[in-house]
Amino acid sequence: MKACLILALLFGVLFQAVPKQKNNPQTNQDDSKHLAEQSQKPARGGTEGAENVGPSSGPSSQEKQDGANSEPKRVSWCEKIFEPVWANWPLILVAIWGIWVARGTLKIIERQTKATEDNVEAFVHSQRPWISVRTALASPLTYDENGAQITLKIEVKNVGQMPAMGVFIFPAIYIDSVPGKLSPPAERARMCEQMRKIRQIGQAIFPGEPAVYHMAISAPVSDVEAGCATIFKDKAAEARMFGAKIIVVVGYGTALDKDASYHTAAIYDLHRREPGRGDEPFSLKMETTPLERLQLNLAIVSAIIAE
Closest to 50 measured CA to CA, from 65, 39, 64, 35: 39
Condensed to tens digits (0 to 9), the pLDDT of residues 142-200 reads: 999 999 999 999 999 999 989 999 899 999 999 999 999 999 999 999 999 988 877 56
CA angle 294, 299, 304 (to 5 degrees): 120
Q: Which residues contact 102 (CB under 8 A, 6 or more apart)?
A: none
Task: Please give the Cα distance from 237 to 239 (Å, whole number).
Answer: 6
Condensed to tens digits (0 to 9), the pLDDT of residues 63-105 reads: 555 554 555 566 566 666 667 666 677 777 778 888 888 888 8
What does residue 269 show for φ and ψ, rounded to 5 degrees? -95, 130
Q: Which residue has the higher pLDDT, 21 or 85?
A: 85
Query: What angle, rounded to 10 degrees, do the helices at 61-69 and 24-39 form?
Result: 150
Q: Which residue has the higher pLDDT, 71 or 136?
A: 136
Condensed to tens digits (0 to 9), the pLDDT of residues 282-306 reads: 999 999 999 999 999 999 888 999 9
Task: Please give the Cα distance from 108 to 210 (Å, whole number).
Answer: 47
Q: Which residue has the higher pLDDT, 235 or 14?
A: 235
